[in-house]
Structure 1
Amino acid sequence: MRDQAIAWFTLAQSGDISPQEHQQLQQWRQADPEHERAWQRLAGIPRQLQQRAAQLNNPVARNALQHTRTLDANRRQLLKAFVGIGLFGASAWQARDSLWLQGALADYHTVTGERRHHTLGDGTQVWLNTRTALDVRYSAGERLLVLHQGEIDILSGQDASGRPLLVHTAEARLRPLGTRFNVRSEPNGHGTLLSVSSGQVAAKPFTGGIEQVIPSGQQARIDQYGIAAPQPMDQSTTAWIDGFIVAQRMRLGSFIAELSRYHVGVLRCDPAVADLYLTGSFPLNNIEQIFALLEKSLPVRLQRRTQYWITVTARV
């Protein structure tokens, strides 16, 4: 679906779309609400990108459109063509895998501080945490969810045709066995954190090794080296679904790192106060209230360079 949306969008922006192609585009947009949603998402990409996309030679878009249903490589070819005209700048091809572009082109995504819930066609429910990009690739043989970044919580649905539900992250292939589970893709190569609320999830690293079943109430980290020994699941792991960060004697440094996921801009903790501890439930819908609680309950203050650059430091 994403591939088709990209190709249709590029052809429409070329300025040389035929009446027949325009009619086909309208039919495609009206055929499925998800098609229209994908179209609107691309239309929301900054105007500069749209203007530069119009420079793309329209036969390239038509050629990609003819094959997007079967060849994943065509999306890459199309994006490379964007790069060829300077659509994303000198280093744009590397930016294809950037957080921004993944979010802009993913089937489902959230921005900083946003959380969403979706019910998929098979009844599977997916909750998306902040800064998350998720693709849904259902086929005749499987139901595949690809988590590019961020965090999701999944309540798996029963598929009438018996297709297996799979979740892929950068590090692992996850196969739920009738379950609810949480998957967090850590940035900077820190791996995937799998937490199983109920049922079981079979996990296998892409780097090799045997498949390991993680039972209910356990969590395990998966990285390039394999699967770490499962540990009891931290019950605060899924508090974000209800709109909270729950801290139980949590280091302030760790708390601020977690809170920064929901804050637009830079939010950091001075090492001098990072080892202070705090306990409580903090509402994510009001970050300023959390800041006020920190200054009230701990010997710290907020140093604001700008609205978007905040450091938690020691109170003088």
Structure 2
Amino acid sequence: MSVEQERLLEQATRWIVLLRSGQASDAERQAFLAWRARDPRHEELCLRLERTLGVFQVPIAQGIDGGVLQRALDAPSSRRKVLQRALLGAGLMIGGSWSLTPTFDSLSADFSTGIGQRQTVQLDDGSELVLNAQSAADVQFDSQRRLLKWRGGEGLLQVAADRRPFILQTSGGEVYGRDARILLRDRDSQCRVGAMQAPLQIVTRGGDRLQLQPGQEVTFDRLRFGRVQALRSGDSAWVNGLLEVRGSPLSEVIEALRPYRHGVLRLDPAIADLRVSGLYRLDQSDVVLEALSRTLPIRINRRSDYWVTLTAA
């Protein structure tokens, strides 16, 4: 993230925390609206923060004084570490089975989607890219090659025929394909790539190579490949706003729902391996959770709209 992005994020976060703390005066609210309207980047950043306000609303909803977060933001140095400690002190954990909002690196991406958003993009070479919710990518085409740098999330790429090679760069390595249809998921430095139409060459950052045949998928990271498996028929259902699972672990279902929800969605590890089959609408995640609670031995505990925990019944 650039210095300018850091500055904008800091300014916007100050305003959001102040307004949510209950301490803002009418004059401060008007000043915020003026700041927001002053620059399109301010508006864009505010919209993104508002889509992910679970990060700030949860501790306040749990009775944590908004002044705690405000004082963290006022720290003269190591601002992010202080803010992170304040969030941890409010009961939020980062990683594991807790889900917070994505990083703001997508603000500078060529293409990106927010919570609950999907987008179809036509690239300059005629290729088509579909981004799932909370996904981002950069495009760098020149006379020698076509490079798509994946920043994270899930996507479906139809590569157009062209004399130039097409390179899909992920956190784990690079994927090469011609006239290919590629299904990609890259979150938390774990990649999953599916070959839907033509063979793919995958090279990890550590130098290992794998030829993936049509109808196959593989999970990999920077150093190693997992086991090659048959591509599942429902893996691309999200393109149509659907979640199709057949005997999949509950943890996989919850991971698919998180990009469509604000705030924290926690899954008790004790029930993570329960098997789920069905066809669900991603845009109706609350309905999905209720349906799961009726068919599985689980309980949904809601502290607020931004804090939901799934436990054993």
For residues 248 and 255 of structure 1, the distance between their equivalents in structure 2, rounded to whole angstroms, comes to 11
Q: 1:223 to 1:273 in 2, by over 3 A?
A: closer
Q: Is 1:147 equivalent to 2:150 in the alignment?
A: yes
What is the CA-CA distance between 1:163 and the residue it aligns to? 1.7
Q: Is 1:299 equivalent to 2:297 in the alignment?
A: yes
For residues 245 and 307 of structure 1, the distance between their equivalents in structure 2, rounded to whole angstroms, comes to 22
CA contact (8 A) 1:199 1:216 kept: yes
1:212 matched to which residue of 2? 210
Q: Is 1:180 equivalent to 2:181 in the alignment?
A: yes
CA contact (8 A) 1:171 1:192 kept: yes
Letter in 1 for 2:116: G
Q: 1:109 to 1:196 in 2, by over 3 A?
A: same
Q: 1:157 to 1:42 in 2, by over 3 A?
A: farther
2:78 matched to which residue of 1? 90
Structure 1 runs not aligned, ≥5 long: 11-38, 50-85
Q: What are the equivalent positions in structure 2 for 1:79-118 lying under 5 Å apart? A: 90=78, 99-118=102-121
What is the CA-CA distance between 1:145 and the residue it aligns to? 0.4
For residues 169 and 251 of structure 2, the distance between their equivalents in structure 1, rounded to whole angstroms, comes to 30
What is the CA-CA distance between 1:273 and the residue it aligns to? 3.2
Q: TM-score normalised to the size of structure 2?
A: 0.67
Structure 2 runs not aligned, ≥5 long: 9-38, 50-73, 82-100
1:196 matched to which residue of 2? 195
CA contact (8 A) 1:260 1:268 kept: no
Q: Output one character per residue of 1:119-156: Cα deviation in whole Å (capped at 9) or x when no partner.
A: 11111000001111100111121111000111111001
Letter in 2 for 1:221: T
CA contact (8 A) 2:160 2:178 kept: no
Q: Is 1:45 equivalent to 2:33 in the alignment?
A: no
1:225 matched to which residue of 2? 223
For residues 284 and 228 of structure 2, the distance between their equivalents in structure 1, rounded to whole angstroms, comes to 34
2:288 matched to which residue of 1? 290
Q: 1:154 to 1:42 in 2, by over 3 A?
A: farther
1:169 matched to which residue of 2? 170
Letter in 2 for 1:250: S
Q: Alignment identity in percent?
A: 26
1:120 matched to which residue of 2? 123
Letter in 2 for 1:292: E
Q: 1:262 to 1:43 in 2, by over 3 A?
A: closer
What is the CA-CA distance between 1:224 and the residue it aligns to? 2.4
4+ long deviations beyond 4 Å: 39-43
How many residues align? The count is 237
CA contact (8 A) 1:112 1:261 kept: yes
Q: 1:178 to 1:89 in 2, by over 3 A?
A: farther
1:76 matched to which residue of 2? none
Q: Residue 155 of structure 2 aligns to a residue in which SS?
A: strand
